[in-house]
Amino acid sequence: MASWARAVRGLLLDVSGVLYDSGGDGGVPIAGSVEAVRRIKASGLKLRFCTNETQATREKFVKKLQGMGFDISVAEVTAPAPAACRILKERSLRPHLLVHNDLVPEFDEIDKANPNCVVIGDAAENFTYANLNEAFRVLIGLEKPVLISLGRGRYYKETDGLKLDVGAYMKALEYACDVQAEVVGKPAKMFFESALAEMGVPPEQ
């Protein structure tokens, strides 16, 4: 065994496109992925599932993966929405949400009256001109606009083909409002540091 492998105590796994391909029917596991997760857990390595999933709460997301046969719990998932909620609370920010309807419950405890920032996620069919323009108007009307993005992916794969991801819409708002988005999902360094902290494993391991 290589010396670096002996030093490894934990693994961070991507999910969509790595463990399964998503789609309108819920998606399908990629060949061998269910068994791979089972073997990793049996090895005693600490494991964290890192996802930019922003079309569902973690509870719904985990239930879907469990239905595919994956051994996974909510406590093992690092996702952007909870990280964004921590930032909103710490900075007393009140978001205008441009997210998928199924993700809204993650923000139930956040004050959304009189927004002073915009939070954008993979809103799928909610990415209409009217909704993007509403987010634009909130941002452009702020003296110090704050745009928080739950990822910056360009596209992702579903069972029926490739789909535009949140990054394309984030860039549109950045350009229109002359603002730099704060990305709290992958590939932001803070996202992975949060996952490591939750596992209690330093980066070199």
Q: What is the pLDDT of residues 104-158, one digit of tens each?
A: 999 999 999 999 999 999 999 999 999 999 999 999 999 999 999 999 989 887 7
The pTM for the full model equals 0.78
**Contact (Cβ atoms closer than 8 angstroms) between residue 94 and residue 58:** no
- Rounded Cα distance between 201 and 205, Å, is 6
CB atoms within 10 A of CB 102: 14
Rounded to a whole number of angstroms, the CA Rg of the chain reads: 18
Please indicate, yes or no, if residue 101 is contained in any of the structural domains. yes
Give yes or no for a cis peptide into 187 (omega within 30° of 0). Answer: yes
Please indicate, yes or no, if residue 4 is contained in any of the structural domains. no
Shared domain check, 98 and 73: no
Please indicate, yes or no, if residue 56 is contained in any of the structural domains. yes
Shared domain check, 56 and 114: no
- Condensed to tens digits (0 to 9), the pLDDT of residues 28-63 reads 999 999 999 999 999 999 999 999 888 888 899 999
Amino acid code (one letter) for 73:
S
Place of tokens 């860039």: 171
Instruction: Output the domain CATH number for residue 27.
Output: 3.40.50.1000
